[in-house]
Amino acid sequence: MTQTTAGVRMARFTVPDGCRMQAYRFALDPTPRQIRALESHCGAARFAFNHMLEFVIAVRDQRAAERSYDIPEDELTPAQGWSLPALRKVWNQRKEVHAPWWRENSKEAYNSGIDALSRALESWWKSKCGSRAGAAIGFPNYKSKHRSPQSVRFTTGTIRVEGDRHHITLPMLGRIHTYESTRKLVHHLDSGTARVLSATVQFEGGRWLCSLHTIVEVQEQPTTTRRNGHPVVGVDLGIKNLLVAATPDGTEVLRVAAPKPLNAALRRLHTLQRRAARRRGRWDPVNKSSCRPSRRWTRNHRQLTKAHARVRNIRRHELHRATSTLTSKHDVIVIEDLNVAGMFRNRKACLKGFNRSVGDAALGALRTQLSYKAERHHITLRIADRWFPSTQICSGCGARTKLPLKEREYRCGICGLVIDRDLNAAVNLARLGDAA
Protein backbone atom coordinates (compact mmCIF):
# COMPACT_ATOMS: atom_id res chain seq x y z
CA MET A 1 0.00 0.00 0.00
CA THR A 2 1.38 3.35 -0.97
CA GLN A 3 0.85 6.70 0.64
CA THR A 4 -1.12 7.95 -2.37
CA THR A 5 -3.84 5.50 -1.38
CA ALA A 6 -4.81 7.84 1.46
CA GLY A 7 -5.88 10.53 -1.00
CA VAL A 8 -6.06 14.23 -0.27
CA ARG A 9 -8.21 15.51 2.57
CA MET A 10 -10.41 18.54 2.27
CA ALA A 11 -9.05 21.78 3.65
CA ARG A 12 -9.81 22.33 7.32
CA PHE A 13 -12.07 25.15 8.36
CA THR A 14 -10.11 28.22 9.45
CA VAL A 15 -11.49 30.53 12.11
CA PRO A 16 -11.88 34.12 10.83
CA ASP A 17 -9.82 36.86 12.44
CA GLY A 18 -11.43 38.33 15.52
CA CYS A 19 -13.38 35.13 16.27
CA ARG A 20 -12.86 31.98 18.29
CA MET A 21 -14.29 28.48 18.25
CA GLN A 22 -16.62 27.70 21.12
CA ALA A 23 -18.94 24.81 21.88
CA TYR A 24 -22.19 24.86 23.83
CA ARG A 25 -23.47 21.57 25.20
CA PHE A 26 -27.03 21.01 26.36
CA ALA A 27 -28.82 17.99 27.81
CA LEU A 28 -31.77 17.01 25.64
CA ASP A 29 -35.22 15.88 26.72
CA PRO A 30 -36.46 14.01 23.63
CA THR A 31 -39.81 12.31 23.28
CA PRO A 32 -39.97 8.50 22.80
CA ARG A 33 -40.41 9.04 19.05
CA GLN A 34 -37.39 11.33 18.93
CA ILE A 35 -35.34 8.82 20.93
CA ARG A 36 -36.07 6.15 18.32
CA ALA A 37 -35.12 8.60 15.56
CA LEU A 38 -31.86 9.49 17.33
CA GLU A 39 -30.98 5.82 17.76
CA SER A 40 -31.76 5.25 14.08
CA HIS A 41 -29.47 8.11 13.02
CA CYS A 42 -26.64 6.82 15.22
CA GLY A 43 -27.13 3.33 13.81
CA ALA A 44 -27.01 4.74 10.28
CA ALA A 45 -23.70 6.45 11.01
CA ARG A 46 -22.33 3.20 12.42
CA PHE A 47 -23.56 1.23 9.39
CA ALA A 48 -21.92 3.64 6.95
CA PHE A 49 -18.65 3.45 8.91
CA ASN A 50 -18.62 -0.36 8.96
CA HIS A 51 -19.76 -0.74 5.35
CA MET A 52 -17.12 1.58 3.92
CA LEU A 53 -14.44 0.08 6.17
CA GLU A 54 -15.33 -3.35 4.81
CA PHE A 55 -15.07 -1.99 1.27
CA VAL A 56 -11.66 -0.40 1.95
CA ILE A 57 -10.36 -3.67 3.41
CA ALA A 58 -11.73 -5.66 0.46
CA VAL A 59 -9.99 -3.38 -2.06
CA ARG A 60 -6.75 -3.58 -0.10
CA ASP A 61 -6.85 -7.39 0.08
CA GLN A 62 -7.78 -7.64 -3.61
CA ARG A 63 -4.77 -5.54 -4.61
CA ALA A 64 -2.50 -7.62 -2.36
CA ALA A 65 -3.80 -10.85 -3.96
CA GLU A 66 -3.27 -9.48 -7.45
CA ARG A 67 0.31 -8.51 -6.59
CA SER A 68 0.95 -12.08 -5.44
CA TYR A 69 0.16 -13.18 -9.01
CA ASP A 70 2.73 -10.71 -10.40
CA ILE A 71 0.10 -8.52 -12.03
CA PRO A 72 1.60 -5.15 -13.06
CA GLU A 73 0.76 -2.15 -10.90
CA ASP A 74 -1.07 -0.33 -13.66
CA GLU A 75 -3.42 -3.30 -14.11
CA LEU A 76 -4.34 -3.72 -10.44
CA THR A 77 -7.80 -2.95 -9.08
CA PRO A 78 -8.03 0.83 -8.66
CA ALA A 79 -7.05 1.95 -5.19
CA GLN A 80 -9.72 3.41 -2.96
CA GLY A 81 -8.99 6.89 -1.65
CA TRP A 82 -9.44 7.57 2.04
CA SER A 83 -10.53 11.19 1.84
CA LEU A 84 -14.10 12.13 2.72
CA PRO A 85 -15.10 13.04 -0.89
CA ALA A 86 -13.67 9.77 -2.24
CA LEU A 87 -15.41 7.60 0.34
CA ARG A 88 -18.67 9.52 0.03
CA LYS A 89 -18.67 9.10 -3.76
CA VAL A 90 -18.43 5.33 -3.40
CA TRP A 91 -21.12 5.32 -0.71
CA ASN A 92 -23.53 7.19 -2.98
CA GLN A 93 -22.97 4.54 -5.66
CA ARG A 94 -23.57 1.63 -3.28
CA LYS A 95 -26.27 2.87 -0.89
CA GLU A 96 -29.26 1.98 -3.10
CA VAL A 97 -28.20 -1.67 -3.15
CA HIS A 98 -26.72 -2.14 0.34
CA ALA A 99 -28.88 0.36 2.27
CA PRO A 100 -32.20 0.81 0.44
CA TRP A 101 -33.66 2.31 3.64
CA TRP A 102 -31.18 5.21 3.65
CA ARG A 103 -33.93 7.84 3.08
CA GLU A 104 -35.35 7.17 6.54
CA ASN A 105 -32.46 9.17 8.07
CA SER A 106 -30.73 12.40 7.25
CA LYS A 107 -27.83 12.15 4.81
CA GLU A 108 -25.74 13.81 7.52
CA ALA A 109 -25.93 10.61 9.55
CA TYR A 110 -24.13 8.63 6.85
CA ASN A 111 -21.75 11.50 6.19
CA SER A 112 -20.70 11.63 9.87
CA GLY A 113 -19.89 7.91 9.87
CA ILE A 114 -17.87 8.19 6.65
CA ASP A 115 -16.05 11.25 7.98
CA ALA A 116 -15.14 9.36 11.15
CA LEU A 117 -13.70 6.55 9.03
CA SER A 118 -11.71 9.01 6.91
CA ARG A 119 -10.19 10.60 10.01
CA ALA A 120 -9.41 7.21 11.56
CA LEU A 121 -7.62 6.00 8.42
CA GLU A 122 -5.69 9.25 8.17
CA SER A 123 -4.60 9.04 11.81
CA TRP A 124 -3.52 5.40 11.37
CA TRP A 125 -1.48 6.22 8.27
CA LYS A 126 0.24 9.22 9.86
CA SER A 127 1.02 7.18 12.97
CA LYS A 128 2.44 4.37 10.84
CA CYS A 129 4.61 6.83 8.89
CA GLY A 130 5.83 8.52 12.09
CA SER A 131 4.36 11.92 11.25
CA ARG A 132 1.80 11.84 14.08
CA ALA A 133 2.77 12.65 17.64
CA GLY A 134 1.57 10.57 20.56
CA ALA A 135 0.91 6.89 21.03
CA ALA A 136 0.68 4.54 18.07
CA ILE A 137 -2.70 4.32 16.34
CA GLY A 138 -3.94 0.97 15.08
CA PHE A 139 -5.96 0.23 11.97
CA PRO A 140 -9.66 1.08 12.47
CA ASN A 141 -11.95 -1.64 13.82
CA TYR A 142 -15.61 -2.19 13.14
CA LYS A 143 -18.00 -0.28 15.40
CA SER A 144 -20.13 -2.40 17.71
CA LYS A 145 -23.76 -1.60 18.47
CA HIS A 146 -23.30 -2.29 22.18
CA ARG A 147 -19.75 -1.06 22.86
CA SER A 148 -19.25 1.91 20.53
CA PRO A 149 -20.56 5.34 21.61
CA GLN A 150 -23.76 6.46 19.91
CA SER A 151 -23.06 9.72 18.10
CA VAL A 152 -24.15 11.59 14.99
CA ARG A 153 -23.07 14.96 13.59
CA PHE A 154 -25.08 17.45 11.53
CA THR A 155 -23.32 20.08 9.41
CA THR A 156 -26.06 21.10 6.95
CA GLY A 157 -29.80 21.43 7.04
CA THR A 158 -31.96 23.09 9.68
CA ILE A 159 -29.80 23.59 12.76
CA ARG A 160 -31.48 26.23 14.86
CA VAL A 161 -31.67 27.32 18.50
CA GLU A 162 -35.22 28.44 19.13
CA GLY A 163 -36.02 31.80 20.64
CA ASP A 164 -37.91 30.29 23.59
CA ARG A 165 -34.46 29.20 24.91
CA HIS A 166 -35.57 25.62 25.59
CA HIS A 167 -35.70 23.97 22.15
CA ILE A 168 -33.17 22.99 19.47
CA THR A 169 -34.21 22.09 15.91
CA LEU A 170 -32.20 19.46 14.01
CA PRO A 171 -32.65 17.97 10.51
CA MET A 172 -35.39 15.30 10.32
CA LEU A 173 -35.63 15.29 14.14
CA GLY A 174 -37.58 18.50 14.58
CA ARG A 175 -37.80 20.56 17.76
CA ILE A 176 -36.17 18.84 20.73
CA HIS A 177 -36.67 20.15 24.24
CA THR A 178 -33.59 20.92 26.37
CA TYR A 179 -33.35 20.53 30.13
CA GLU A 180 -31.34 23.72 30.60
CA SER A 181 -31.74 27.17 29.14
CA THR A 182 -29.89 28.12 25.95
CA ARG A 183 -30.01 31.85 26.75
CA LYS A 184 -26.24 32.44 26.49
CA LEU A 185 -26.08 31.10 22.95
CA VAL A 186 -29.37 32.74 21.96
CA HIS A 187 -28.01 36.10 23.14
CA HIS A 188 -24.99 35.76 20.83
CA LEU A 189 -27.12 34.60 17.90
CA ASP A 190 -29.65 37.41 18.29
CA SER A 191 -26.90 40.04 18.46
CA GLY A 192 -25.15 38.58 15.40
CA THR A 193 -21.91 37.80 17.25
CA ALA A 194 -22.09 34.00 16.78
CA ARG A 195 -22.82 31.48 14.05
CA VAL A 196 -23.59 27.77 14.45
CA LEU A 197 -21.36 25.53 12.33
CA SER A 198 -22.48 22.04 13.33
CA ALA A 199 -24.35 20.03 15.94
CA THR A 200 -23.22 16.74 17.45
CA VAL A 201 -25.70 14.55 19.31
CA GLN A 202 -24.39 11.74 21.48
CA PHE A 203 -25.68 9.38 24.14
CA GLU A 204 -23.53 9.66 27.25
CA GLY A 205 -24.15 8.72 30.85
CA GLY A 206 -27.74 7.67 30.28
CA ARG A 207 -28.89 10.85 28.53
CA TRP A 208 -28.78 12.50 25.12
CA LEU A 209 -26.51 15.54 24.79
CA CYS A 210 -26.22 18.05 21.96
CA SER A 211 -23.00 19.99 21.36
CA LEU A 212 -23.34 23.05 19.15
CA HIS A 213 -20.03 24.12 17.59
CA THR A 214 -19.97 27.85 16.90
CA ILE A 215 -17.67 30.71 16.02
CA VAL A 216 -18.06 33.68 18.35
CA GLU A 217 -16.70 37.17 17.93
CA VAL A 218 -14.02 38.01 20.48
CA GLN A 219 -15.17 40.81 22.76
CA GLU A 220 -13.05 42.83 25.15
CA GLN A 221 -13.64 42.07 28.80
CA PRO A 222 -14.57 44.98 31.07
CA THR A 223 -11.64 46.12 33.19
CA THR A 224 -13.71 45.75 36.37
CA THR A 225 -14.12 41.99 35.97
CA ARG A 226 -10.54 41.08 36.89
CA ARG A 227 -9.16 43.27 39.66
CA ASN A 228 -8.39 41.79 43.06
CA GLY A 229 -4.94 43.24 43.76
CA HIS A 230 -2.99 40.11 42.77
CA PRO A 231 -2.15 40.24 39.04
CA VAL A 232 0.46 37.44 39.14
CA VAL A 233 -0.13 34.07 40.79
CA GLY A 234 1.53 30.69 40.75
CA VAL A 235 -0.60 27.56 40.84
CA ASP A 236 0.61 24.27 42.29
CA LEU A 237 -1.40 21.22 41.26
CA GLY A 238 -1.79 18.12 43.36
CA ILE A 239 -3.99 15.23 44.38
CA LYS A 240 -4.68 16.23 48.00
CA ASN A 241 -5.26 19.88 47.13
CA LEU A 242 -6.45 20.21 43.57
CA LEU A 243 -4.69 23.56 43.33
CA VAL A 244 -3.05 26.13 45.56
CA ALA A 245 -2.59 29.65 44.17
CA ALA A 246 -0.21 32.17 45.74
CA THR A 247 1.42 35.50 44.91
CA PRO A 248 5.18 36.18 44.69
CA ASP A 249 5.17 37.72 48.17
CA GLY A 250 3.79 34.51 49.72
CA THR A 251 0.10 35.40 50.01
CA GLU A 252 -2.23 32.48 49.48
CA VAL A 253 -5.17 33.60 47.34
CA LEU A 254 -6.93 30.32 46.57
CA ARG A 255 -6.91 26.75 47.83
CA VAL A 256 -9.23 24.14 46.34
CA ALA A 257 -9.39 20.72 47.96
CA ALA A 258 -9.47 17.77 45.59
CA PRO A 259 -13.12 16.67 45.27
CA LYS A 260 -12.18 12.99 44.73
CA PRO A 261 -15.56 11.98 43.30
CA LEU A 262 -14.33 8.53 42.28
CA ASN A 263 -13.13 7.77 45.80
CA ALA A 264 -16.54 8.77 47.16
CA ALA A 265 -18.37 6.54 44.69
CA LEU A 266 -16.17 3.43 45.03
CA ARG A 267 -18.51 1.65 47.44
CA ARG A 268 -21.50 1.96 45.11
CA LEU A 269 -19.40 1.09 42.05
CA HIS A 270 -18.09 -2.05 43.76
CA THR A 271 -21.64 -3.08 44.66
CA LEU A 272 -22.90 -2.60 41.12
CA GLN A 273 -19.91 -4.43 39.63
CA ARG A 274 -20.39 -7.45 41.91
CA ARG A 275 -24.10 -7.47 41.13
CA ALA A 276 -23.38 -7.42 37.39
CA ALA A 277 -20.91 -10.28 37.73
CA ARG A 278 -23.66 -12.55 39.13
CA ARG A 279 -25.96 -12.00 36.16
CA ARG A 280 -25.96 -13.09 32.55
CA GLY A 281 -24.31 -10.44 30.40
CA ARG A 282 -23.60 -10.20 26.70
CA TRP A 283 -20.86 -12.87 26.83
CA ASP A 284 -21.31 -16.54 27.66
CA PRO A 285 -18.04 -17.77 29.24
CA VAL A 286 -19.07 -21.43 28.92
CA ASN A 287 -19.80 -21.47 25.20
CA LYS A 288 -17.44 -18.53 24.58
CA SER A 289 -19.93 -16.70 22.42
CA SER A 290 -22.20 -13.68 22.52
CA CYS A 291 -25.64 -14.10 24.02
CA ARG A 292 -28.69 -12.07 24.89
CA PRO A 293 -28.21 -10.41 28.29
CA SER A 294 -30.79 -10.68 31.01
CA ARG A 295 -33.06 -7.74 31.77
CA ARG A 296 -31.60 -7.39 35.26
CA TRP A 297 -28.08 -7.24 33.84
CA THR A 298 -29.23 -4.55 31.40
CA ARG A 299 -30.83 -2.56 34.21
CA ASN A 300 -27.75 -2.95 36.41
CA HIS A 301 -25.48 -1.94 33.53
CA ARG A 302 -27.57 1.20 33.06
CA GLN A 303 -27.21 2.04 36.76
CA LEU A 304 -23.45 1.50 36.56
CA THR A 305 -23.20 3.83 33.57
CA LYS A 306 -25.09 6.55 35.43
CA ALA A 307 -22.85 6.14 38.47
CA HIS A 308 -19.74 6.67 36.37
CA ALA A 309 -21.40 9.63 34.63
CA ARG A 310 -22.10 11.23 38.01
CA VAL A 311 -18.43 10.90 38.96
CA ARG A 312 -17.38 12.49 35.67
CA ASN A 313 -19.88 15.34 36.00
CA ILE A 314 -18.79 16.21 39.54
CA ARG A 315 -15.16 16.25 38.44
CA ARG A 316 -15.91 18.48 35.46
CA HIS A 317 -17.95 20.88 37.59
CA GLU A 318 -15.19 21.35 40.16
CA LEU A 319 -12.53 21.81 37.50
CA HIS A 320 -14.58 24.41 35.62
CA ARG A 321 -15.37 26.32 38.80
CA ALA A 322 -11.72 26.42 39.91
CA THR A 323 -10.30 27.41 36.51
CA SER A 324 -12.98 30.06 35.93
CA THR A 325 -12.15 31.64 39.28
CA LEU A 326 -8.45 31.82 38.41
CA THR A 327 -8.81 33.19 34.89
CA SER A 328 -11.36 35.83 35.88
CA LYS A 329 -9.32 37.43 38.67
CA HIS A 330 -5.65 37.40 37.63
CA ASP A 331 -3.57 38.69 34.72
CA VAL A 332 -0.67 36.18 34.76
CA ILE A 333 -0.96 32.54 35.84
CA VAL A 334 2.06 30.24 36.13
CA ILE A 335 1.59 26.47 36.35
CA GLU A 336 3.97 23.55 36.29
CA ASP A 337 4.42 21.23 33.35
CA LEU A 338 3.41 17.91 34.87
CA ASN A 339 3.97 14.63 33.05
CA VAL A 340 0.56 13.28 33.99
CA ALA A 341 0.73 10.31 31.62
CA GLY A 342 4.11 9.34 33.07
CA MET A 343 2.64 9.17 36.57
CA PHE A 344 0.69 6.05 35.56
CA ARG A 345 3.66 4.21 34.08
CA ASN A 346 6.10 1.87 35.76
CA ARG A 347 4.21 1.96 39.04
CA LYS A 348 4.20 -0.97 41.42
CA ALA A 349 1.01 -2.63 42.58
CA CYS A 350 1.32 -0.98 45.99
CA LEU A 351 0.87 2.42 44.36
CA LYS A 352 -2.46 1.62 42.69
CA GLY A 353 -4.18 3.99 45.14
CA PHE A 354 -1.85 6.78 44.06
CA ASN A 355 -2.56 6.07 40.39
CA ARG A 356 -6.30 6.18 41.04
CA SER A 357 -5.95 9.50 42.87
CA VAL A 358 -3.97 11.00 39.98
CA GLY A 359 -6.65 9.95 37.52
CA ASP A 360 -9.41 11.19 39.81
CA ALA A 361 -7.82 14.65 40.00
CA ALA A 362 -7.69 15.01 36.19
CA LEU A 363 -4.66 17.30 36.25
CA GLY A 364 -4.28 17.17 32.48
CA ALA A 365 -7.86 18.41 31.97
CA LEU A 366 -7.21 21.25 34.41
CA ARG A 367 -4.30 22.50 32.32
CA THR A 368 -6.39 22.22 29.15
CA GLN A 369 -9.17 24.31 30.65
CA LEU A 370 -6.72 26.93 31.89
CA SER A 371 -5.22 27.17 28.39
CA TYR A 372 -8.38 28.01 26.49
CA LYS A 373 -9.92 30.09 29.27
CA ALA A 374 -6.76 32.19 29.52
CA GLU A 375 -7.03 32.93 25.81
CA ARG A 376 -10.71 33.74 26.17
CA HIS A 377 -10.10 36.19 29.04
CA HIS A 378 -7.01 37.73 27.37
CA ILE A 379 -4.62 36.82 30.16
CA THR A 380 -1.16 35.24 30.11
CA LEU A 381 -0.63 31.58 30.99
CA ARG A 382 3.00 30.58 31.52
CA ILE A 383 4.17 26.98 31.78
CA ALA A 384 7.18 26.37 34.00
CA ASP A 385 9.84 23.95 32.84
CA ARG A 386 9.09 20.35 33.71
CA TRP A 387 12.33 20.03 35.66
CA PHE A 388 11.89 23.23 37.66
CA PRO A 389 12.11 22.10 41.34
CA SER A 390 9.27 24.23 42.66
CA THR A 391 8.70 21.91 45.65
CA GLN A 392 12.38 21.65 46.63
CA ILE A 393 13.31 25.37 46.59
CA CYS A 394 12.83 27.34 49.81
CA SER A 395 10.67 30.38 49.13
CA GLY A 396 12.49 32.22 51.91
CA CYS A 397 16.19 31.84 51.15
CA GLY A 398 16.34 29.85 47.90
CA ALA A 399 18.05 26.78 49.37
CA ARG A 400 17.13 23.36 48.00
CA THR A 401 15.80 20.54 50.15
CA LYS A 402 14.43 17.33 48.70
CA LEU A 403 11.18 16.17 50.29
CA PRO A 404 9.50 12.77 50.10
CA LEU A 405 5.91 12.77 48.92
CA LYS A 406 4.47 11.93 52.34
CA GLU A 407 5.81 15.10 54.00
CA ARG A 408 3.30 17.92 53.66
CA GLU A 409 5.40 20.66 55.27
CA TYR A 410 8.57 22.22 53.91
CA ARG A 411 11.23 22.74 56.58
CA CYS A 412 14.32 24.64 55.48
CA GLY A 413 17.54 23.66 57.22
CA ILE A 414 19.20 26.96 56.32
CA CYS A 415 16.76 29.70 57.31
CA GLY A 416 14.41 27.59 59.43
CA LEU A 417 11.30 28.40 57.34
CA VAL A 418 8.33 26.11 57.97
CA ILE A 419 5.63 26.41 55.33
CA ASP A 420 2.99 24.26 53.66
CA ARG A 421 4.52 22.20 50.87
CA ASP A 422 1.98 23.21 48.20
CA LEU A 423 2.04 26.88 49.20
CA ASN A 424 5.83 26.94 48.96
CA ALA A 425 5.70 25.51 45.42
CA ALA A 426 3.02 28.01 44.37
CA VAL A 427 5.12 30.94 45.60
CA ASN A 428 8.14 29.74 43.64
CA LEU A 429 6.03 29.40 40.50
CA ALA A 430 4.56 32.89 40.97
CA ARG A 431 8.06 34.37 41.16
CA LEU A 432 8.82 32.87 37.76
CA GLY A 433 5.94 34.84 36.28
CA ASP A 434 6.88 37.98 38.22
CA ALA A 435 10.48 37.82 36.95
CA ALA A 436 9.34 37.46 33.33
Active-site residue set: 236, 336, 422
Q: What are the φ and ψ backbone dihedral angles of 140, each rounded to 5 degrees?
A: -60, 145
CA distance 206 to 35: 12
